[in-house]
Amino acid sequence: MSMKTSGRVLFPVASTAVVLVLFACSNPAGPDLAADIQGSETNGYSIGDTGPAGGWIFYIDVENEHDWTYLEAAPTDASESVAWSNISQYFGLGVLSGNIGRGASNTALIVAQDGHTESAAQVALDYEAGGFDDWFLPSNMELEAMRDNLHLAGIGNFAVAQHWSSMEMGTGSPNSGRFVDFGNPDSPWGAVTKSSTRRVRPVRSF
């Protein structure tokens, strides 16, 4: 730690001299400490903020459970009407997941399926906005968070319609894909045949 020393000597009237030395220390953390702290705060995002791609932040990984911190909804729908997939075959129990953090891996599995030619997942992958092309089709829990944290707060310019998730229905209806209804906040999700068409709002993580 660098130290600057300044002092002065005071002599009172009495014969005994008393010496008082005053020290002034320089800031050990450097002059930019306050600016650095403020910068780290202002560089963060809150729910509803505009993200780097021009969309909106709708989920924050505050528990550090993933290798990303934020989920950003795209600024526009990638499609108003597209099938979940041209393939109706069931992936199998547990292959796709509806959990937060699984949209990207679900998307990759859907487009890698044998015989795949078109899907909502492919539309999301092909989407570009704000100079970013790392979009994917959200899982149904990611899509629910998007609806609850953005749409219901009047953010995001969403159509009051059903949007595809990257999750399929279980063994009871294996040829169906799941959607989230932005017009019915009391319903977490629904399912229809994969050949049906719904809207797509891509997501990216960072």
Residue 17 forms part of a structural domain: no
pLDDT of residue 86: 96
Q: Which residues contact 165 (CB under 8 A, 6 or more apart)?
A: 98, 103, 137, 138, 139, 140, 142, 143, 177, 178, 179, 180, 189
Residue 21 forms part of a structural domain: no
Q: Is the pLDDT of residue 32 over 70?
A: no
Q: What is the CA 115 to chain-centroid distance, rounded? A: 31
Number of domains the chain is built from: 1
Residue 3 forms part of a structural domain: no
Q: Is the pLDDT of residue 34 over 90?
A: no
Strand ranges across the sheet with 197-200: 79-83, 197-200, 162-168, 176-181, 190-193
Residue 182 forms part of a structural domain: yes
The residue ranges of DSSP E strands in 45-196, in sequence order, are 56-60, 70-73, 79-83, 162-168, 176-181, 190-193
Stretch 46-55: mean pLDDT: 98
What is residue 72's three-state secondary structure? strand
Residue 145 forms part of a structural domain: yes
Stretch 168-183: mean pLDDT: 88
Residue 184 forms part of a structural domain: yes
What pTM, to 2 d.p., does this model score?
Answer: 0.78
The residue ranges of DSSP E strands in 77-173, in sequence order, are 79-83, 162-168
Per residue in 121-143, pLDDT (tens digit) is: 999 999 999 999 999 999 999 99
pLDDT of residue 5: 36
Residue 98 forms part of a structural domain: yes
CB atoms within 10 A of CB 127: 24
pLDDT of residue 57: 98
Residue 24 forms part of a structural domain: no
90 lies in which domain range? 56-205
